[in-house]
Structure 1
Amino acid sequence: MKARCFIALLAVWATIASLPAQRPFTLEECIEVALRNNRTVKQQQLSKEQQQIAYSQARADLLPNLNASVGHNFVFGRSKGRDDVYQSNNSSQTNFSISSDLTLFDGLRMKYNIDARKADLQASEADLQKIERDITLSVSTAFLQVLLNKELLQIAAEQVEVTKANIERSKQMVNNGKMAQGELYELEAQQAQEELEQVRAESNLQLALLDLAQIMELEEFSQFDVTAPAVETLINEGVLLSSDAVYQSAIMHRPEIHGAQYRLVSSEKEWLMAKSQYYPSLSFGANMGTGYYHMNGLENDSFSSQFRNNMSNSIGFSLSIPLFNRFQIRNSVRNARLAIENSKLEMDKTKLDLRKQVEQAYYNALGAKSRWKAAQKSEKATEEAFRFAEQKYENGRATSYELFQAKNNRTKVLGEQAQAKYEYAFRLKILELLKE
């Protein structure tokens, strides 16, 4: 009996453990999960590793190389003996060698290659930061949309509750003979319409949650939900800086600007690499070798004896002077120079695009702030109008249609106020990300 109870408890525990987590995500957790799961981020990380390998190889090119070789040849028919006289005998020969080369001077080409590959690596890191910033912005946008839809759903639910309370009061007034039955029907029709709006708000909230979950690339999001402080808190934490202040900060900190600068440096180093081909190159080489020779029909020294006696060593310098290369060097220098000009244009274009983004975000933030302030005033006015209409309706001095109109105006203004509020928070978030 105890064993059965223990097994049953294990089964219950396993079932509970297998259920998806119910804890809502904060904005920071959503961003963290999105960055961890995003395929584009992972691809850029691989690209960064490739640039790291290229940079490491460019540095390793400064080192000397070391190679060993072994060869064995068979000669049939006439063979050259150790006395350089050909004889009608088969022979075989084994060669061993070790060689090393070191570039002493190549017009600083290897140095410029190291600098270029380092700039490419830094540009790749900046690209990764740019992708992460874009994902952060996408997640923040979707997150704020979820919060907006939650507030719109709450507004819709509150309106339904207010209408239900009005219907209950109206039923009492109908029973007391203070209201016609037709007005009660109008209120019930209004309730049905508001319940439909509530269903739509619930659907929009689920779609917004789905959109956020897909940006985060969650595998399971049936129980997915978010939590956050009041949007007013998010707005109070932000500061609406001037567009010029945001742009100056962005020029100093934005990764796309850094990436363009690093690519310009890489292009300049590539140009110096191309020019370095005009210079002579000097290299140093060393070689050590030995061999074993065997001819059929003759007495041959032992392998160990020949290995020692046939040992030879050599060192040497090699100077290569470019005289004429069918204009390949000249054309490569020209192409590298054009690449520099193109990198400068790309940098100017990046700065111009950033300026446009900052200006648009700033004026959109100003507009959203103005709409929010205006909506707050309208909210107070419509709230008073609805309260006054409700009092008149309860005293029998207003029809259900007048109450319905005042209530609809209030609902509309509440929705507009919520949208303006969240849009302002969103614009502040954009400006915050643009200046970092």
Structure 2
Amino acid sequence: MKKIIIPIVALASVATGAWAQTDSLWNLDKCMEHAIHYNLDVKRQELMLESTDQDHLQSKLDLLPNLSGSLEHDLGAGRVLDRGTYQWENTNVSQGDLGLQSRLTLFAGLQQLNNMKMNKATYLMNKEELDAMEDNVILSVMTGYLDLLRNQELEDVAEKKVEVTRQQVERMERLVEVGNEPKGKLLEVNAQLSSEKLAFTRAKNAREIAKLNLMHIMNLGNQTHFEIEMPVLPDPSSVEIPELDSVFQYALVNLPQIKSAEYGIVSQERFLAIQQGRRSPTLYANGMLYSNYSTGLTNPLDPDPANPTMDYPLDQQVKDNQYKQVSVGIQIPFFNRWQTQTDINKAKLSLQNAEFLYNSAVLELQQSIQQYHTEALAAMDNYVSAKEAVANSDEAYRFADERFKVGTGTALELQQARNQLYESASEMITSKFVLIFYTNILDFYMGKDIVL
């Protein structure tokens, strides 16, 4: 164990210290930030959130009255209707009218209020969906990051294995040269070295693939140099696995995908209320301000209207001809071919579907947490067993190495002992990262930051 694992840890420590002097290293936080910022699904969800925010704002503004204006100007020749005198005349007339109109809905079965509440719930639902999407990106980055770390350590183990075997080849060459060992033993050790070089090449390629996968998760593009930091990981033996029920109860209240499903129910409840409100009469108020002008009008202050001598300016006409109106009306829906009832029935189905989505999200969460908790416990057991196997394999390897040195052991026995040691070390590394992975997920569901 000390011969194999300690040099690997030392190698990782030296590499980390050397890398820390450059700016090209990516730690986990930097990888997560980059992945979230450049994730296209996250960007699309951000646009969706902005759109629903505009819907919510508009539903508030819909409570206000509307206001519109109109302006019309006519030029007539021949027999035309003078809007000022309302008489048909054979003349040239320049005339027009202008006005302002406004309408305010006083009551419509609370449709506007429920629409505002529905849009608010939809906005909050999309906001939680955005948080859930970012959480998924974070977990994906963590998975890729840990997988790259695991493959890096496995590559280090394979490289150390090649180094030790190469030293044995050099020692065997010297023994064969002086005639203390037959050439057959040298051939056996050389064959083992070739096999271990192949294993090292495979481990190196696996690390490159893991690095590429992480770059793809991050949408890193065509960056030619990408290396991650090698953090000092905690001792897996000291890792605490949280209680299953505690994780589930916290996640049930705080996890964004659950909160999103809850807001989805609220949104559909308000939508149903909107459809039911369509049965109600609509009470509304109208207001209007109107005026007109015409070149054919005579100033009412003119002493001789038959032979007018006073000008009648258009702005004065607009003031004199003002008409104001305020009205209150009610619109009662009697029959629309059962369209309202059909929409109510469909809204009820949508509400039931939202409730099913919530129950499905809760069930999926419960099953996922149970799976992660079970995997974490199994990984802890595997790590403890693998650690013990490494210690025993290390002792067996030392014994086989001593026997080989004094000539009482064969190269095959030494090879088998060495293979068993490195297999145990690889299993311990894998168990360690599996344990770190699942405990980090459980901690993440408990609201804790992912820290390696």
Query: Aligned partners of 1:289, 1:346: CA distance in 2, in Å?
Result: 54
Query: Aligned partners of 1:94, 1:238: CA distance in 2, in Å?
Result: 85
TM-score (norm 1): 0.90
What is the CA deviation profile of residues 125-183 of structure 1, one whole-angstrom value per residue up to 9, with x for unaligned ones? 11001101111111011001000111001101111111122122223322333211221
Partner of 2:178: 176
Query: Aligned partners of 2:176, 2:93: CA distance in 1, in Å?
Result: 126
1:349 and 2:363 equivalent? no
Query: Aligned partners of 1:344, 1:260: CA distance in 2, in Å?
Result: 8
Partner of 2:381: 370
1:332 and 2:343 equivalent? yes
**Secondary structure at the counterpart of residue 185 of structure 1:** helix
Q: Of 423, 428, 449, which residue of structure 2 is paired with 1:417? A: 428
Query: Aligned partners of 1:207, 1:76: CA distance in 2, in Å?
Result: 86
- Over aligned residue pairs, what C-alpha RMSD do you find? 2.1
Structure 1 residue 380, shift from structure 2 partner: 0.8
Give, as a single letter, the amino acid of the residue that structure 2 aligns with 1:156. A
Aligned residue-pair number: 415
Partner of 1:109: 111
Partner of 1:18: none
Partner of 2:39: 38
Query: Aligned partners of 1:333, 1:220: CA distance in 2, in Å?
Result: 53
Q: Which one is further off, 327-336 or 262-271?
A: 327-336
Contact 1:27 1:228 in 2 (8 A): no
Give, as a single letter, the amino acid of the residue that structure 2 aligns with 1:283. Y
**Cα 1:309–1:217 shift into 2, 3 Å:** same
Structure 1 residue 362, shift from structure 2 partner: 1.3
Query: Aligned partners of 1:424, 1:222: CA distance in 2, in Å?
Result: 32
Query: Aligned partners of 1:54, 1:84: CA distance in 2, in Å?
Result: 47
TM-score (norm 2): 0.87
Contact 2:242 2:443 in 1 (8 A): no
Query: Aligned partners of 2:419, 2:42: CA distance in 1, in Å?
Result: 46
Query: Aligned partners of 1:211, 1:426: CA distance in 2, in Å?
Result: 17
What is the CA deviation profile of residues 297-351 of structure 1, one whole-angstrom value per residue up to 9, with x for unaligned ones? x978432332222222222212222222222222222221121111111111111
Unaligned runs of 5+ in 1: 1-20
**Cα 1:125–1:237 shift into 2, 3 Å:** farther
Partner of 1:244: 245
Give, as a single letter, the amino acid of the residue that structure 2 aligns with 1:288. L
**Cα 1:328–1:73 shift into 2, 3 Å:** farther
Give, as a single letter, the amino acid of the residue that structure 1 aligns with 2:242. L
Structure 1 residue 432, shift from structure 2 partner: 2.3
Unaligned runs of 5+ in 2: 1-21, 298-306, 448-452
Partner of 1:434: 445
Contact 2:278 2:340 in 1 (8 A): yes
Partner of 2:141: 139
Give, as a single letter, the amino acid of the residue that structure 1 aligns with 2:150. L
Query: Aligned partners of 2:316, 2:229: CA distance in 1, in Å?
Result: 85
Q: Of 395, 404, 426, which residue of structure 2 is paired with 1:393? A: 404
Partner of 2:16: none
Give, as a single letter, the amino acid of the residue that structure 2 aligns with 1:248. Q
Q: Of 152, 163, 166, which residue of structure 1 is paired with 2:165? A: 163
Structure 1 residue 250, shift from structure 2 partner: 1.2
**Secondary structure at the counterpart of residue 24 of structure 2:** coil
Query: Aligned partners of 1:182, 1:134: CA distance in 2, in Å?
Result: 56
Contact 1:231 1:422 in 2 (8 A): no
Contact 2:56 2:123 in 1 (8 A): yes
Structure 1 residue 397, shift from structure 2 partner: 0.6
**Secondary structure at the counterpart of residue 25 of structure 2:** coil
Query: Aligned partners of 1:377, 1:51: CA distance in 2, in Å?
Result: 57
Query: Aligned partners of 1:345, 1:316: CA distance in 2, in Å?
Result: 47
Query: Aligned partners of 2:87, 2:217: CA distance in 1, in Å?
Result: 82
- Write the mapping of 1:95-106 to structure 2, written as runs, cut at 5 A: 95-106=97-108
**Secondary structure at the counterpart of residue 231 of structure 1:** coil
Partner of 2:259: 258
Partner of 2:73: 72
1:303 and 2:314 equivalent? yes
Query: Aligned partners of 2:316, 2:251: CA distance in 1, in Å?
Result: 75
Q: Of 394, 407, 418, which residue of structure 2 is paired with 1:383? A: 394
Structure 1 residue 244, shift from structure 2 partner: 2.2
Give, as a single letter, the amino acid of the residue that structure 2 aligns with 1:281. T
Give, as a single letter, the amino acid of the residue that structure 1 aligns with 2:136. D
Q: Which one is further off, 163-172 or 206-215?
A: 163-172
Structure 1 residue 22, shift from structure 2 partner: 5.1
Q: Of 192, 199, 220, which residue of structure 2 is paired with 1:197? A: 199
**Cα 1:237–1:115 shift into 2, 3 Å:** farther
What is the CA deviation profile of residues 30-72 of structure 1, one whole-angstrom value per residue up to 9, with x for unaligned ones? 1111111111111100000001000000011111222111112
Give, as a single letter, the amino acid of the residue that structure 2 aligns with 1:181. K
Partner of 1:14: none
Query: Aligned partners of 1:316, 1:102: CA distance in 2, in Å?
Result: 11
Query: Aligned partners of 1:432, 1:228: CA distance in 2, in Å?
Result: 21
Partner of 1:15: none
Q: Which one is further off, 106-115 or 50-59?
A: 106-115
**Secondary structure at the counterpart of residue 78 of structure 1:** strand
**Secondary structure at the counterpart of residue 26 of structure 2:** coil
Query: Aligned partners of 1:408, 1:202: CA distance in 2, in Å?
Result: 18
Q: Which one is further off, 325-334 or 410-419?
A: 325-334
What is the CA deviation profile of residues 80-126 of structure 1, one whole-angstrom value per residue up to 9, with x for unaligned ones? 34443323345342111112222222221111111100000000011
Query: Aligned partners of 2:315, 2:146: CA distance in 1, in Å?
Result: 82
Q: Of 116, 119, 122, which residue of structure 1 is paired with 2:121? A: 119
Name the one with the larger helix percent.
1
